[in-house]
Chain A
Amino acid sequence: MNSLAEKLVALINQEGASSFFALKNLLGIAATSLPKDGSLPSSQKELNAFKLIQEALFELRKPTRRNLTQDGVLWRGKIPFLDENLLTKIEHELDEFRKDAAPQKWGQYISPGGALVQKYFASQELRFFVEKYSGRLEGAGVPSCLYYDEIGAHIKPHVDTDNFCVNLNVMISHRSESSRNSKLVIYPVGDALPVEVYLSPGEGILMYADCIVHTRTPVSKGESIKNITVGFKPSSEIHEDIS
């Protein structure tokens, strides 16, 4: 007998992109209801609903994803080309773009990348690197810069938009006056507990971010984070028409 998540996904099977994304976006919006501190819902009723949301998001993409595991992580490690010198230069570039960055829903800010970000994070080389894990991708990666530098800035639990099916999230800097509280949290499908991820400057994590729920928990007073996030779309699967 099919699980409820499988029944949900069966509703939209073979009906094209608009139907697929109507369900995917509904599930993504529902996932945003989780607590922002990286914990699971305290009530059993909400936890059961969240498990259903997770499983359905996973089932939507499972048939077409190479190396998709319960936590969606494809790779984690030091970005090969990102030495101390380049990291410093990129951080300075981000500082310049921060001045005009656009505020986002939960207190974080976003900007496009400058020349260095474009050169290193929208490159063919980086795409080839990602393809080793995800298989073939459409077009070039889309880099953006994220800033968490106001008290409480975070991103609520979510799945990424279709531009970020595969997401390479790179830590450029994480500074604090005392302890570093903010963390990336990934919610694996199944019985495993949420996984806390603390990235060091120059370190990145590559994951299927449109089908695995994840969050960045709030920064505390005096804490600031600069990230570069690069989105990719796997070839040969349904994608959203954003025109």
Chain B
Amino acid sequence: MDEQENSIDELVRKLLDLKSDLKGEEAEAFEEMIRLAVRSAQEINEQEKKLLKSEGFDNFRELMKPQSSHAIVVGEKLDKLLNPPPKDE
């Protein structure tokens, strides 16, 4: 998870830089994309929580790589893109 978190942190930093260069329609599409990602990450997390106690081919399900861990991290980190810290921080 550390490597995954680091790569997402790095991506968010780059997205913040890119965002500061965007204007007009591009800026609007970019921000909406991030909003959609946050909204979906929350929904995926909720669905995955419901599955935690379910039975079945658990090992196989792991092989299929649920998105949950990634979605949790994405959902938390992307908040920085929608509510960026002040420049002097």
A: residues with CB less than 8 A from B are: 4, 7-8, 11-12, 18-19, 21-23, 25-33, 45-46, 48-53, 100-106, 109-112, 142, 144, 161-163, 242
Contact = CB atoms under 8 A, between A and B. Distances in A.
B71 to A, nearest CB: 6
A49 B40 contact: no
Contact of A25 (B35, B64, B70): B70
Contact of A102 (B15, B61, B70, B74): B61
Interface in B1-39: 3-4, 6-8, 10-11, 14-15, 18, 22, 25-26, 28-30, 32-37, 39
Contacts of A45: 28-29, 32
Main SS class of interface, A: helix
A29 B41 CA distance: 6
Most chain B beta-carbon neighbours within 10 Å: one of A11, A100, A105, A161: A105
A49 B63 CA distance: 31
Given A22-B8, A29-B40, A45-B28, A11 B15 contact: yes
A175 B33 CA distance: 37
Contacts of B3: 18
Given A30-B36, A49-B32, A19 B10 contact: yes
A104 B65 CA distance: 11
Interface in B50-65: 51, 54-58, 60-61, 63-65
